[in-house]
């Protein structure tokens, strides 16, 4: 009779298809991080700033 382990040892996670946590997926993806690192400041600073400047009314 084979023995069934009561609970899987940590190393067994690699064998089981346990889903990778969202945060780990994010941090393990260097190109996503690169994109966010460029896109976030560009939108929040440059795009928002230009929108504000373009919206300045003309003097009467």
* Contacts to another protein by CB under 8 A: 10, 13-14, 18, 20-21, 23-24, 56-60
Dihedral over alpha carbons 15, 17, 22, 28 (to 10 degrees): 40
C-beta closer to another protein: residue 24 or 42? 24
Cα separation, 44 vs 9, whole angstroms: 45
Smallest gap from residue 17 Cβ to another protein (A) = 11
Cα separation, 45 vs 26, whole angstroms: 23
C-beta closer to another protein: residue 1 or 56? 56
Smallest gap from residue 54 Cβ to another protein (A) = 10
């Amino acid at each position: 009779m084979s023995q069934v382990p009561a609970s899987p040892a940590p190393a067994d996670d690699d064998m089981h298809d346990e889903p990778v946590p969202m945060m780990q997926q994010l941090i393990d993806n260097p190109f996503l991080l690169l994109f966010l690192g460029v896109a976030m400041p560009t939108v929040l600073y440059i795009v928002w700033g230009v929108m504000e400047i373009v919206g300045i009314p003309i003097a009467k």
